[in-house]
Amino acid sequence: MTRSRCPRPSDPSLHSLTLSPRPNRKKRFPPRCVSAPLLHSSRDAAGEEEEKKEEEEEEEEEEEEEEEEEDEKKEEEEEEEVIAQMTSGNTTFLRHILNQGKL
């Protein structure tokens, strides 16, 4: 036998109070009401629209981040090219000076 977590009261009057049936609760919609499913479907549709909007915003943010990353990569490549041109130009200039024997 398993014991219940709450011991039963020894007083019969308290016992009858704890086992009394729940009062009837009012139902939200009558059983033949047609508006209840429509109401829920409109809520679902609104929720789906919000989810779609959020997904679109997230996609736009991801695209913007990708574009920014591409721009940064392009800028770094351009800087590297400029540095390479400057250093190659300097080496040819230095070679020219060395060839002339002025250094």
Distances in whole angstroms, Cα of residue 36 to Cα of each of 2, 41, 43, 45, 51: 43, 9, 11, 14, 23
Global pTM reads: 0.38
Q: Give residue-wise pLDDT tens across range 10-67.
A: 655 555 555 555 555 555 555 555 555 555 566 667 778 888 899 999 999 999 999 9
Per the rule left: phi > 0, alpha: psi between -120 and 50, beta: everything else, 80 is alpha
Tell me which H or E stretch contains 81: helix 35-100
Q: How far apart are the first and last CA of the chain?
A: 105
**Spatial separation of the C-alpha atoms in residues 71 and 69, rounded to whole Å:** 5
